[in-house]
Amino acid sequence: MGLFGFGRKKHKKDEEAVADQTDETVAQDADDAADEAEDAAEAKDAADAEDQEAQDAENGAEDSDDDDSEDSDDDKEELEPGPWDYDEDGVDPDDDDGYISFGSIFLPIEPGMTIRARRTNEGIQSVTVTIDNSSVVVVPLAAPKTLGLWDELSDELLESQDGAKIEEGRFGDEVMLPVDVKGKTMTSRVVGVDGPRWMLQGVFSGDAATADADDPKRTHIEDYFSRIIVRRGSEPLAPRDIIPIMPPKTAAQRRAEAEAAAKNASKKPDVTKNDTDVPQSYDVQHKVQTTMRRGPMFSEMR
């Protein structure tokens, strides 16, 4: 699958408010990403002061995990560069302990990462992943069947945000977006990957936005973003609608739910046939029969 090339086809919008709302959402995600990156930098400084022995133990655990997941990684290497579609051949995150599910997106699990969900009255709007001094805000959006959405959205960002510019990056055209955070101007990098009826938006900040293209500080979280799996589902959604993001579930929780559902489906109603003590129905009908009776007869004698 990889990157879906749908060309730079344009079409007019019926409502300008939809575009304005999208721009505001991206700007808010950029602000959130910048805040996350600044917090991550402070946390990273504190983490560097930890005992080296604990770090060695953690590295040993990582090596063990790598051995256990070697077969799974080999399967992923056969796929085109991601993010991937849930229904693509070779993609099966449901029973994969290396992924945490948010319903419409499956996020890889890495040691030391932090995940935060931004929730409003309408539900979860985005998920922010922070690794070291880099953050990425992830948003899955519904897209048309025949057209890519990122070309259109990136043009709108350029027109609506002063100082925004396009640069070529790992995920194609990427928008460099200046963001004011706590009186300072920081740079966020907005990318979009078009899939079948979806677009995955990523807003990178921190080292992931400012480091050179081949710098591990940038490529590490880009690798992470490329391993995300998107599940569009069959729910009818308008283009640019957020594909519903659910509370997170681990692979163990997903397996337990699947087993419980299978167990309930295999159960049969325990009803004893021809047992008069067991009511077969609570819908009781009463038959009322009325009989016409002849009243008393009177005779008159004169």
160-194 tens-digit pLDDT: 888 999 999 999 999 999 988 888 889 999 999 99
Kindly report the pTM of this predicted structure. 0.68
- pLDDT attached to residue 28: 62
Decide: 138 and 130 in contact? Cβ < 8 Å. Answer: no
How many Å apart are CA 231 and CA 277, to the nearest integer? Answer: 50
Question: Which of 170, 2, 171 lies closest to 76, judged by CA?
Answer: 2
Spans of the chain below 50 pLDDT: 1-22, 49, 61, 64-65, 68-69, 72, 275-302
Task: Give the phi and the psi of residue 222 in degrees, each rounded to 5.
Answer: -65, -40
